[in-house]
Structure 1
Amino acid sequence: MEEQQAVNHRQVMPETMNTIGFAQPGGPEVLVPETAAVPSPGADDVLIRVAFAGVNRPDCIQRAGHYPAPPGASPVLGLEVAGEVAAVGANVPAEMIGQRVAALTPGGGYAEYCTAPWQHCLPVPGDMDLKSAAALPETLFTVWHNVFERGCARDGERLLVHGGTSGIGTMTIMLAKAFDIEVIVTCGDEAKCEAARKVGADLAINYREEDFVAAVKDYTGGDGVNIVLDMVSGDYVPRNLQCLAEDGRHVTIAVLGGAKAELFMPMVMMRRLTLTGSTLRPRSDAFKAALADEIAANAWPLFTSGELAPIMDETFPLAEAAAAHARMEAGEHIGKIVLEVA
């Protein structure tokens, strides 16, 4: 039955599609337009006609050869898309066909068609543009899980996030402020600091000109922050711990500054600090479905209502994915970079 349904979907879909691939790992220049077969949805998947695809740091890391796709996932880059459901698998409600959705994908987003588990999709209302919707899933899922679930963020607390104008940084600022959390960010220049303040940061620290540990202690009167969301790791970790209040939580989601850190463990014990972290892509479909349900109930309405909107950087045509990656790696972007597919 499932095979027959896949055949039926293939009869109404084009045989091939435009996508982005790379023959071997390397810099942004290895990304080139290719033609590939349109994928068939599995039993629990939807096939999405992609309008826009988000560009994320893990895409760049995978392209460089350091973040392989998990078993069974598409080797095509792209972890988030928005578009219209074109076909569904055997276990998916048929009424999803034709619906506009934003989806967290295991891969495959840099293409005209992409499959994703149907329970990892969020509905996009007619008055919400698909470009904005495509910029949300990866950062929203990541921030919600790491700040609010692993970091146990509560209203009235303080949070420090590095890279305040990145996609993760801007999402963290917006969500935290929506839940009455005070936000401190670090940025690499004054223009980015000002951009972070406009998004809602209570304090933006230019880390090139100021010691962020001293700045955090001065701003908080020596109390420190309750949570650090860390994307740098390396030698930032011991400095982050100095910023934490007693019973503080340190959450690592990337290791852009190095995979190893040297810690003074007596401080961890004396101040009762919690060190945790996560990677989203390898988690089970069931975990991501449960996370999507929690986001749909608590955070997604903030965006569908227009109360919040993603901070957008540049939009590139799908064929210019290499330029999109070059911009991300240059570190000049503020907010999300997306690819226009259709």
Structure 2
Amino acid sequence: MSATMRAVVVDQAGGPEVLQVRRIPVPLPAPGWLRIKVKAFGLNRSELHFRQGQAYSGTFPRVPGIEAVGLVDQDPSGWLAPGTQVATMMGGMGREFDGGYAELVTVPAAQVIPFRSDLPWEVLGAVPEMLQTAAGSLRVGLEARDGQTLLIRGGTSSIGLALAVLAKARDMTVISTTRSESRRELLESVGVDHVLIDDGVIAPAIRELVPDGVDGAVELVGTNVLRDTLRAVRTGGVACFTGMLSDQWTVSEFYPMDWLPNGVRLTAYSGESADLAPATLQDFVDEVAAGRAVVPVGRVYRLDDIAQAHRDMEAGTIGGKGVVLT
């Protein structure tokens, strides 16, 4: 192996053009860390925010990327043999230390999840962060139970699609929103029961479908529609704030008595690699291999296409999870 590798480097915040593919030294794993030969990585909006200089953490210059899948290249501790399939995410990846937009990445061993699968890398690359966020929103954010009704606000996002797949596996009735009629088929393809076209106010339409309100709602659009989402939830139900597709993060005039309907609970979810159990990851990729679950891959790119991939992510035209093959 040569002493350099190809990686995407961001020297300072800016537009997609600041994502520069170049050769940099191969990283060496520190004690307690291991090195992964990256086969694929998913694209995430938090990487967009980091590149734009909007993130609350991280420093430049930096190799971005909060997740990756690949093969163990070097594990000084001997825990995992070279060639073991692994996923990794979060924990400061792509912010505090160099992340997954590279041929090789070093990460703390504690945030490495081994698995076994014959699925193609472009499918596996879409899974870790998407599955962790979707599964965590259901399990921790909503404490969802089988057979409940679920509203997914922002249903065509990769997490929204993954939520639908996981919820249908639990016999839940799924209502997903999209701003475009052209996305109806995509939502129905992952098992969504009711597709609602979102014009900014959906609570009345939800109440027509479910008069008492849904058991749980996952908010993926942002604070600009959160108040309306809360009004679609039944007394005793839960709304979980997970995403900000609108890039509106904060509520300027939060008046709880007005915002929160009686007895409706508001939670939030943002997890780490430790929140995705190896068994959950293994079970999910096995279900996909068996044809009982789908991974909503929107578009696959090469490392050299990274600037275009970010343009597409910014424009919201990927239609599922964007994945980059190294």
Q: Tell me if TM exceeds 0.5.
A: yes
Aligned to 1:49: 37
1:61 aligns with 2:52: no
* CA 1:25–1:76: 2 relative to 1, 3 Å: same
Larger % of helix: which?
Answer: 1
Matches within 5 A, 1:108-119: 108-119=99-110
- Among 254, 275, 278, the alignment partner of 2:243 is 254
Deviations 1:275-294 (A, max 9, x none): 111333xx5xxxx3353346
User: Once the 2 structures are TM-superposed, how far is the Cα of residue 193 of structure 1 from its aligned partner?
Assistant: 2.0
Q: Is the 8 A contact 2:149 2:216 kept in 1?
A: yes
Question: Which amino acid in the other structure matches residue 85 of structure 1?
Answer: V
1:315 aligns with 2:306: no
Q: Is the 8 A contact 2:88 2:113 kept in 1?
A: yes
* CA 1:170–1:214: 2 relative to 1, 3 Å: same
Q: Is the 8 A contact 1:55 1:338 kept in 2?
A: yes
* CA 1:298–1:99: 2 relative to 1, 3 Å: closer
Aligned to 1:242: 231
User: Once the 2 structures are TM-superposed, how far is the Cα of residue 177 of structure 1 from its aligned partner?
Assistant: 0.8
Matches within 5 A, 1:68-79: 69=57, 75-79=62-66
Query: Secondary structure at the residue paired with 2:314?
Result: helix
1:175 aligns with 2:166: yes
Q: What TM-score, normalized to structure 1?
A: 0.85
Query: Secondary structure at the residue paired with 1:145?
Result: helix
Deviations 1:39-71 (A, max 9, x none): 222333321111111111111111001115558
* CA 1:182–1:133: 2 relative to 1, 3 Å: same
RMSD: 2.5
User: Once the 2 structures are TM-superposed, how far is the Cα of residue 227 of structure 1 from its aligned partner?
Assistant: 1.4
Q: Which moved more, 1:33-42 or 1:112-121?
A: 112-121
Query: Secondary structure at the residue paired with 1:66?
Result: coil
Question: Which amino acid in the other structure matches residue 339 of structure 1?
Answer: V
User: Once the 2 structures are TM-superposed, how far is the Cα of residue 94 of structure 1 from its aligned partner?
Assistant: 4.2
Query: Secondary structure at the residue paired with 1:147?
Result: helix
- Among 141, 156, 176, the alignment partner of 1:150 is 141
- Among 79, 87, 93, the alignment partner of 2:74 is 87
Deviations 1:232-269 (A, max 9, x none): 23231211111001111111123323411645534677
CA distance in 2, matches of 1:21, 1:167: 25
Q: Is the 8 A contact 1:20 1:110 kept in 2?
A: yes
Question: Which amino acid in the other structure matches residue 101 of structure 1?
Answer: V
User: Once the 2 structures are TM-superposed, how far is the Cα of residue 313 of structure 1 from its aligned partner?
Assistant: 1.4
* CA 1:51–1:270: 2 relative to 1, 3 Å: closer
Aligned to 1:7: none
User: Once the 2 structures are TM-superposed, how far is the Cα of residue 89 of structure 1 from its aligned partner?
Assistant: 3.4
CA distance in 1, matches of 2:162, 2:261: 32
Q: Is the 8 A contact 1:124 1:130 kept in 2?
A: no
Query: Secondary structure at the residue paired with 2:40?
Result: strand
Aligned to 2:26: 38
CA distance in 2, matches of 1:34, 1:139: 28
CA distance in 1, matches of 2:125, 2:12: 27
Aligned pair count reads 318
User: Once the 2 structures are TM-superposed, how far is the Cα of residue 298 of structure 1 from its aligned partner?
Assistant: 5.9
Query: Secondary structure at the residue paired with 1:24?
Result: coil
CA distance in 2, matches of 1:69, 1:294: 30
Question: Which amino acid in the other structure matches residue 42 of structure 2?
Answer: G
Identity of aligned residues (%): 29
Query: Secondary structure at the residue paired with 2:319?
Result: coil
CA distance in 2, matches of 1:309, 1:340: 19
* CA 1:304–1:289: 2 relative to 1, 3 Å: farther
User: Once the 2 structures are TM-superposed, how far is the Cα of residue 328 of structure 1 from its aligned partner?
Assistant: 0.9
Q: Is the 8 A contact 1:163 1:186 kept in 2?
A: yes
- Among 182, 186, 207, the alignment partner of 1:195 is 186
Question: Which amino acid in the other structure matches residue 212 of structure 1?
Answer: I
Q: Is the 8 A contact 2:149 2:215 kept in 1?
A: yes
Deviations 1:203-254 (A, max 9, x none): 111113x84112111111x111111111223231211111001111111123
User: Once the 2 structures are TM-superposed, how far is the Cα of residue 310 of structure 1 from its aligned partner?
Assistant: 0.9
Query: Secondary structure at the residue paired with 2:223?
Result: coil
* CA 1:258–1:79: 2 relative to 1, 3 Å: closer
